[in-house]
Structure formats: C-alpha cells, structure tokens
Amino acid sequence: MEKRDIKILLADDEADVLDFMKYNLERDGFEVYTVNNGIEAIESAKKHQPHIIILDLMMPKLDGILTCRELRNLPQFKNTLITFLTARDEDYSQIAGFESGADDYITKPIKPRVFISRIHALLRRLENKEHNKNISVGEIEINTEQYSVLKKGEEISLARKEFELLHLLMNKPGKVFKREEILRKVWGTETIVGDRTIDVHIRKLREKIGDNYFKTLKGIGYKFEA
C-alpha cells in the first residue's frame, strides 16, 4: 500500500499540536484530515474512512476514550488502527485506552522523527491486517488463508480475482472505491486491463453473492454494503 493511499485522521484540541502532526505527516506523503474534538472525529471518520486514527485522550465534547468506543461500535471501524496521543502517561490512562479498543499509545511531547517512526510502525501493522485478517460482514465471511467465501455458512466458489476484488471491497464496508484504485490494488500497475474488466467481475460477484451487496456509483466506482 502506497503512502498516497493512506488516510490519517488527527483529533486534538491543541491547534499547535494538530498543525505539527499534520505538517510532518503530509511532508511524509500521507493524506491527512484534522478535527478538534471527539464528535467531529466520528463524523470525519464516517466521511473519509481513514486507515489510521489518532485521538487526543483529553478532548472537549467527547474525550478520546469515548470516541474510540463509539468508533469500535461501528462495523466499518472494527479493524481500523486507532492510537491515543496524550501528555498523560499514567498507567491507568494507558490501560483505559487499550480497554476502549486502541491499538497504540503515543505520549507528548513528540519529536518529528519519533512520531513518523511510530506511524510507520502502525502502517506495517495495517498492511499485515489487510493481508492476513479474515473478514465477516453481515452474512458474508471471507477466509484469507483458505481463499474461501461463505454466505450463511455455505461456501461460494470464486475465481482468484473475484475473491481479491470482494476482499478489497469488504475491507471497508460503505467506502466508495474508485475505479482507478480498484485496478491498481487488484490487478496491479504492470497488468493492462480496461474498465470493463471491473464491471464483468462485479457482475459475477452479484450473481454469486447477491446484487444487493454491491452498489455502483456511475463514473466513480463501487462499494460493498452489508
């Protein structure tokens, strides 16, 4: 996964900290969104579907702990990487953070190199999740080790590219995948295929899994809906 494809959401009520993180992440090639409180973080996450979410522990309106819990209760953020950013390094704060569903914990003040290094470490974990995790959305289950798909417990036979396309879409239920992104992630940059290839594979998936799971956005791309 390329950096330009990685979206990071930052939530912190300190403008200078927010600017510092945004500047360093954008300089490193990431796409960055910023908000000032927990409520805005949830709204922005729903809109942008970030790969990594960084939450300040102490925020107005909704603190980091409650924000993390709210996000984890939404299916599309069940496997999203979430880390806390805070000046408080007490053990109980870290424990509360992990119990709410956080993947990591970063303490302030942060040095640029250390901060970017921690983000890269999270990114490696994200890549491992993308490649190795099994996915279950509604009635559909994917086993990445066995390359199998189950619907209501019954196995559905898919060709390899059909499986990879389904796996991509199911990784982020509700997210719109643009056609260019689908071609790049499923077929790669070295293989030349036309847009019609995506349409054919989507049609086959609709026939085998169900038409209601796949939504077309004309001229843009596709998304998977439970």
Together in a domain, 128 and 143: no
Together in a domain, 126 and 161: no
Q: Where are the alpha helices (DSSP H) in the chain?
A: 15-27, 38-48, 64-72, 91-99, 112-132, 160-171, 179-182, 195-209
CA 77 and chain centroid, separation: 7
At 58-88, the pLDDT tens digits run: 898 999 999 999 998 887 887 788 988 877 6
Give me the domain span that covers residue 103.
Answer: 3-132
The CATH number linked to 219 is 1.10.10.10
Predicted pLDDT of residue 207: 94
Together in a domain, 62 and 174: no
Q: How far apart are CA 22 and CA 115, in angstroms?
A: 11
pLDDT at 47 over 90: yes
Together in a domain, 94 and 157: no
Of 132, 158, 184, which residue is a domain's last?
132
pTM as predicted: 0.59
Give 63-70 contacts, CB < 8 A, sequence gap 24+: 63/38, 64/11, 64/38, 64/97, 65/96, 65/97, 65/100, 66/38, 66/100, 67/11, 67/38, 67/39, 67/41, 67/42, 68/97, 68/100, 68/101, 68/102, 69/100, 69/101, 70/38, 70/42
Together in a domain, 99 and 208: no
Of 132, 164, 194, which residue is a domain's last?
132
Q: What is the Cα gyration radius of the chain?
A: 19
pLDDT at 10 over 60: yes
Q: How far apart are CA 56 and CA 82, in angstroms?
A: 11
Report the pLDDT averaged over residues 145-174: 87
Together in a domain, 13 and 85: yes
Q: What's the number of domains the chain is made of?
A: 2
Mean pLDDT lowest among 30-34, 97-101, 110-114: 97-101
pLDDT at 192 over 70: no
Predicted pLDDT of residue 107: 79
Q: How far apart are CA 97 and CA 53, in angstroms?
A: 13
Taking each continuous run of H as one helix and of E as one strand, the counts in the chain are 8, 12
Q: How far apart are CA 126 and CA 123, in angstroms?
A: 5
The CATH number linked to 76 is 3.40.50.2300
Together in a domain, 123 and 152: no
Closest-CA residue to 177 (of 3, 5, 44): 5
Together in a domain, 120 and 40: yes
Together in a domain, 17 and 122: yes
Of 112, 132, 152, which residue is a domain's last?
132
pLDDT at 111 over 80: yes
